[in-house]
């Protein structure tokens, strides 16, 4: 069987981390979202909101982290590996804030492919802001639109995960793999 690198993406507050955690509990190999650790590390260095204050630096750090995750996922012993966000997410966020970026971001998105991309739509009832998620729900919907557009531009077929319990959503994802 061929190695499957599966991205779970969507705007902020759509349940990605909860689904990843549930997949981990079921024994699947998963790589978590890394933006929170980058944000927390920046705060330790005196940068309160790195995504807002230094978006290109934030994006470069994310790119390095996601390329590393892709490499580790590709070398993982598991046949199926889930990733909480992929490299094109970085470009989608940069499009959202209207930032330009060097060509190596585009090149990395082309060079680091994924088998399938599951996208979680905005869901106001479960959306919560916190210290690392400062977007409001309207902004989350715009980010979702940028994510879809970006992944489609790289030729991915997006599989939208319907709303439901965590178990229903995980089962939906797993059923799409068989």
In 12-92, DSSP assigns E strands to: 29-31, 80-84
Sign for the CA dihedral angle at 39, 44, 48, 53 comes to negative
pTM of the model: 0.91
- For the record, the structure tokens of 120 come out as 């979680």
What's the CATH number for 4-177? 3.40.50.300
The answer to whether 7 and 161 are in contact (CB under 8 A) is no
pLDDT score for 37: 86
Phi, psi of 164 (to 5 degrees): 165, -170
From first to last of the 178 residues of the chain, give the pLDDT tens digit: 578 999 999 988 888 999 999 999 999 999 999 988 898 888 898 888 887 788 888 999 999 999 999 999 999 999 999 999 999 999 999 999 888 889 999 999 999 999 999 999 987 776 566 655 566 768 888 999 999 999 999 999 999 999 999 999 999 999 999 7
Cα distance between residue 78 and residue 21, in whole Å: 17
Q: Count the residues in the chain.
A: 178
pLDDT score for 99: 81
Domains of the chain, by residue range, sit at 4-177
| Residue 117 bridge partners (DSSP) | 7, 158
Phi, psi of 133 (to 5 degrees): -120, 95
pLDDT score for 125: 74
Sign for the CA dihedral angle at 57, 43, 145, 169 comes to positive
Cα distance between residue 30 and residue 16, in whole Å: 12
């Amino acid at each position: 069987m061929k190695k499957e690198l599966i991205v779970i993406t969507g705007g902020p507050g759509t349940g990605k981390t909860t689904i990843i955690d549930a997949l981990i509990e079921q024994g699947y190999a998963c790589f978590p979202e890394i933006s929170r650790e980058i944000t927390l590390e920046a705060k330790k260095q005196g940068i309160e909101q790195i995504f807002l204050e230094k978006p290109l630096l934030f994006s470069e750090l994310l790119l390095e982290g996601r390329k590393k995750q892709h490499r580790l996922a590709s070398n993982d012993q598991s046949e199926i590996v889930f990733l909480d966000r992929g490299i094109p997410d970085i470009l989608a966020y940069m499009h959202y804030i209207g930032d330009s970026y060097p060509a190596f971001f585009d090149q990395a998105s082309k060079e680091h492919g994924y088998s399938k991309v599951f996208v979680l739509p905005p869901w106001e009832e479960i959306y919560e802001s916190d210290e690392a998620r400062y977007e409001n729900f309207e902004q989350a919907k715009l980010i979702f639109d940028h994510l879809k557009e970006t992944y489609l531009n790289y030729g991915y077929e997006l599989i939208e995960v319907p709303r439901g319990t965590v178990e229903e959503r995980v089962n939906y994802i797993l059923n799409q793999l068989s």
